[in-house]
Structure 1
C-alpha cells in the first residue's frame, strides 16, 4: 500500500513539473554548402508541442529561434504555441538557433536555412505538396529568419509572421535612417517626461568622456565627480578614466534601450517613478537597476560585463561581424543620447581583430532582396502596434495588454487562416475537433 502511494505521489510530482513540450534533436548539416565540412552533422535541438494537433494533416506552426536557447524563446511566444495552436489544431515546432544552445557546431558562421527539418517533418506526417500548411514565426532577429525562409522557399512555407523585425535596417538599403531606433526609444521616455532628464545625464557623461586630459590628470581633475559617479552607481571597480566612463555610458544606454523595447505593462509604473525628485546620478542608478538588478540583489555593479543578463548572446557578435550588419547609432539631436556616428572602418577593424571576419555589408540585401521599396510586394501586410513592447503580439494574452496589441493578434489570426485555407479541407475551421 505504501509503495502504491509513493508511486502515485511521484507521478503527480512528475506531471506537475513536466515541460509543455518534447525535446528532440535533428541531424543538421554543419555547413549547407559543404565546401569545408562535407556531410558532417551536429545534433540541433528542437521542441515539439502536439497537445492540440490533429494528426490528419493539419497546419504546422514553426518558430525560427533567435539569439537565445530555444526554451527561452518558447516562454515568450504563448500566442503562437497556445492560442493559435489550439484554434488551428496545429503542430508546434521550435527550432533552436545553432550557437545559442547546448549542442552547437563551432566555426561555421552561416545559419539561415532551416528547410531540412521542415521537409523531414512533412515526410514523417505523410504530407503531400498541397497538404499540411506551414506558418513560420519569429521575433526580432528570429523574425528576419522567418521572413527570409518564406522569401527563399515560398513553395514550402505558406506564410510567415515576423514580429518586431528590423528586416530593412542595413547600410545600403535605400532611404535607411540609422538613427531611427534611438529616436523611437526617446519617444517612449518622452511620454512620461523622462527624456530631458536622461539627456542631461548623458551630456554630463559625454562631456567627461570627451576630455583631452591624460588619464592621470583626468583622475585628479575630476576626482570629486568621479567619486560621486562611483558612489551613486555603486561600481564594483572604481572608474578613473575616460575609457571606463565610456563603457559605463554604454551600460546605461543599453538599459534604456532594452527597457524601451521590453516595456511590458507590468513595469510601466516603475518607468514613471524612477526619475522623479532624485539627483541625476542616483536617478540613473535607480532606473538602470530596473533592468540589471530588478530583484535588488547586487551589492555593486560590474558595468563592463554586457547587458543581457543570464542569456549568453555572444554568438550574435559573430553573426554581426559576418553578414548581419546593422549600423544603428544615436545623434544626440533627435534622441536623448549623444552623437556617435557609426564608424565603418573601426567596426571592421574590431571584427577582423576579434573574430578574423570581414563584414559582408551587402550580403543580406543581395541574397534576400529589399534594397528598396520597389522590391516589396504590394500585398505585404504590416501591422503597427503603438505603445507596445518588443514582440508583444507573440506573448500570451494578459490583463493590461494595450489595445493595439490585442487587435494585432486578432488580425494576425485572421490573416493566417486566410493564407493557409487552400491547403486545408474547406470545412476545416467549421468542423475542427474540440480539444
Structure 2
C-alpha cells in the first residue's frame, strides 16, 4: 500500500541537467568513446569521414527507401595484402578515435591493415528515418545492423587494392554480440572476430547483474563493506515507508520537496540512482576503485556525512535539489536530444531485455527495482503493443536465432573481464579450439579493446597480446606473427 497524504504535490515544470537516472542499460559506447579523447596519441587527422547508402529494410525487397550510414576510414598503415579491420558501432555515436588507439589500431599497425569504424543505424548521425515518431523504430534491430555492416564490407572489398584482404570485425558490449553474430551469419565475408564483453544471452530479468556487483564488493571491498551497504539501503527502504521518514530522507539527500516519494515508481527511480556508483565501479572501474569506495562509505557512516554523489542526475538547477519523478524521466527520454536513449530502450524492449532488477536476494540493495519498472516503460514509450508478451517473444527469437551462449561459430575470440557484471550473460568457456573464451581477472567492461597503459594489470596486458596472436593466426598474417 502506498502512502498518499504525506504532502501536497505541486505540479511545475522541471529542467534536468541530465535526465538519465536508472543504471546503465546500454551506455557503453558513449562511455568508452569519452575515454578515447585522452588516449588517442596517434591522431593526425588522416581519418576520412565517409557515407554509404543503405537499404532501410535489407530483408524486404518491396521497401525501396534508402538512407546514408556514416563510417570512418584510415589507411595510414595499409600495405598490399594487409588485413581489413572494422570496429562495429554500437548503442551510441561512433568515434573515429578508435583508429588512433586500441587493439584495432595496434593490429592494423602490426599487420599493415586498413581501419574502418561503422556507426549503428539510429545512433549518432546515422539516422535512417525520423526517430521522433516511435513507429519508425520498427527498422531498428540487430539483424538490420549486421546487414548494414555486411554491405559496407562488400563495398570495401570491391576496391581493387583490398579485394583480396582478410576481414576482421571487432565489437564491444552489444557490438561485441554483433561482431560474433556477423562472423556466424556471414563466414564467407568475415574471416575472424573479436567479441569483447558481449552479453550474447538475451534475458528479461537480469538479476545476475547486481549479484556480480555484490560479489565484487564482497571480494575487493573492505571487510565490513557489504554490511554497510545493506544497512544504508535498508534504511532508505524503511524511511520511505512513512511520512516522517520521507521528510527526513528529503532533508538528508537534498531532494526537492515536490518529489512525491510516496509513489512506488518514483521510489524506484531513487533506488536506481543510488545504485549507480556501485554499478559504475564494477562495470567500468577496477578493484582499487571498489576498495576506495568502501573506505569512503565507512568514513561517511562513522562521521554521519551524507554520501557524495556523481554528476547531478535529476538535478533541478534553479532549485539546487534532486527531483525524482518517473513521469518526468519518461518525458526526458522522449526529447529528441535523447534519441539514442529511446533507440536503445526500444532494442531492449524488442530483442534483449537486459533489465537489471533487484529480484535476487544475493545483493545488498533491497528489492526496490522491479521488472515492471522497465517493462512498463516499453508500453509507455512505444505503444501498448510493445508489452511484456512482446518482450518475451523478442528475447526468445534472439536466443533461438543467434544461439545464446553457444553460437555456432568459429574464429571468434570471446573476451570478458571477470569484474564486469555483463560477463554473466557472456561466453565464459571455450566453445571450441577456434572459438575460445578469454576471461581476464580483475578487468572490467571492454578493457581489452584499449591499448596498454602503465597502470594496467599484467593479466590484461597478456590477454591483449593473446587476442592479437589469435587474430593474426586466423587471418594467416604469417609475416607478422613474430611481432
2:261 corresponds to which residue?
241
Q: Are the equivalent residues in 2 in contact too, given 1:98–1:111 (CA < 8 A)?
A: no
Any stretches of 5+ residues in structure 2 without a counterpart? 1-41, 130-135, 410-429
User: How has the CA–CA distance of structure 1 residues 303 and 389 changed in structure 2, closer, same or farther, with 3 Å as cutoff?
Assistant: farther
Change (3 A) 1:351 1:324: same
1:7-406 matches, cutoff 5 A: 19=45, 21-34=47-60, 38-54=63-79, 56-71=80-95, 74=97, 78-106=101-129, 107=136, 108-112=139-143, 113=146, 114-128=149-163, 131-170=164-203, 178-190=206-218, 191-193=220-222, 194-209=225-240, 211=241, 218=242, 221-222=243-244, 225-236=245-256, 238-243=258-263, 244-264=266-286, 267=289, 270-279=292-301, 285-286=307-308, 288-289=309-310, 299-303=320-324, 305=329, 312-331=340-359, 333-339=361-367, 343=371, 349-356=376-383, 357=386, 358-359=390-391, 360-370=394-404, 377-379=431-433, 380-406=435-461
Name the SS for the 1:93 alignment partner. Answer: strand
* Inter-partner Cα distance in structure 2 for 1:256 and 1:77: 31
**Which one scores higher on RCO, CA 8 angstroms, separation ≥ 6?**
2
Q: In 2, Cα distance between the equivalents of 1:385 and 1:19? A: 33
Shift of 1:416: 0.8
The match for 1:13 is none
Write out per-residue CA displacement over residues 3-33 of structure 1, whole angstroms, 9 at most, x where no aligned residue. Answer: xxxxxxxxxxxxx986462211111111112
Change beyond 3 A, Cα 1:280–1:238:
farther
Give the TM-score normalised by the residue count of structure 2: 0.70
Aligned to 1:7: none
- 1:412 to 1:77, Cα distance in 2 relative to 1, 3 A: farther
Is the alpha carbon distance of 1:240 and 1:170 closer, same or farther for their aligned partners in structure 2, counting shifts above 3 Å?
closer
1:328–1:200 CA distance, 2 compared to 1 (3 A)? same
Structure 1 length-normalised TM = 0.77
CA distance in 1, matches of 2:306, 2:447: 26
Q: Give the Å deviation of 1:292.
A: 6.1
Which residue in 2 is equivalent to 1:8? none
Residue 271 of structure 2 aligns to a residue whose secondary structure is helix
Q: Distance in 1 between matches of 2:78 and 2:213?
A: 40
SS of the residue corresponding to residue 71 of structure 2 reads: strand
Give, in whole Å, the separation in 1 of the partners of 2:51 and 2:121: 12
Contact 1:178 1:328 in 2 (8 A): yes
Cα displacement (A) at 1:57: 2.8
Give the secondary-structure state (helix, strand or coil) at the position aligned to 1:25.
strand
Alignment partner, residue 174 of structure 1: none
Structure 1 distance, partners of 2:267, 2:202, is 29
Give the aligned partner of residue 465 of structure 2.
410
Shift in Å, 1:267 = 5.0
Per-residue CA deviations over 1:271-307 (Å, capped at 9, x if unaligned) read 3542132139976731x427969xxxx9544555599
Shift in Å, 1:259: 2.7
* Per-residue deviation, 1:159: 1.0
TM-aligned CA deviation for residue 145 of structure 1: 0.7
Q: Mean Cα displacement is larger for which, 262-271 or 101-110?
A: 262-271
Deviation at 1:347, TM superposition (A): 5.5
CA distance in 2: counterparts of 1:29 and 1:373, whole angstroms = 27
Segment drifting more, 368-377 vs 92-101: 368-377
Alpha-carbon distance in 1 for matches of 2:437, 2:65: 40
Q: Kindly indicate whether the alpha-carbon contact (under 8 Å) linking 2:221 and 2:291 is maintained by their aligned counterparts in 1.
A: no
Alpha-carbon offset, residue 134 of structure 1: 1.1
Match of 2:39 in 1: none
- Higher Cα Rg, which structure: 1
List alignment gaps of at least 5 residues for structure 1: 1-15, 172-176, 212-217
How far residue 402 of structure 1 moved from its aligned partner, in angstroms, is 1.8
Q: Matches of 2:363 and 2:406 in 1, distance apart?
A: 26
